[in-house]
Amino acid sequence: MLDSLPPRERQIVDLLYAKGEATVGAIQAALPVALSEQAIRAMLSRLEKKGFVRRRASEEGLAFSPAKAKAEVKDSVLKRIVNVFFDGSALGAGSALLGMAGRLSEEELEELERVIAKARKERRK
């Protein structure tokens, strides 16, 4: 889904997921590469036609936001990462994430235990 986008369009969509909604000016200011407003508008128009972005009128002008829910996209992206970088192994991906997390709080460890218990319960069904 998102991996099919050219890099600059992907940056814009990622930015919109991070911000929730943004105007062309806000997108222009947040991008790591200087692009004209015209170039950003053209990319937003393409993204809207592709179904990745939607727009609405706001007090500041047109405001753009992601067209799909973050959770829907997150699942798709995560599955792709697990397949590409961890050979489809959820254990490998989970271990890597835990290694990156450093020290987990007691609450985070308890939540992980609940998730594991739920997975075991569902597997037995």
Condensed to tens digits (0 to 9), the pLDDT of residues 4-20 reads 789 999 999 999 999 99
Same domain, 61 and 10: yes
One domain for residues 48 and 90: no
Instruction: State pTM to two decimals.
Output: 0.67
54 found inside a domain? yes
Sheet harboring 61-66: ordered strands across?
22-23, 61-66, 53-58
Domain membership of residue 49 (yes or no) is yes
**Nearest residue to 8 via CA among 26, 29, 35:** 35
Q: How many domains does the chain have?
A: 2
Rounded Cα gap, residues 20 and 49, in angstroms: 19
Q: Is residue 79 part of a domain?
A: no
- pLDDT greater than 70 at residue 23: yes
Q: Which pLDDT tens digit goes with each residue over 42-90?
A: 999 999 999 999 999 988 889 999 998 887 877 777 888 888 899 999 8
Q: What is the pLDDT of residue 1?
A: 65
Please tell me whether residues 58 and 101 are part of one structural domain. no
**In terms of residue numbers, what domain contains 31?**
2-66
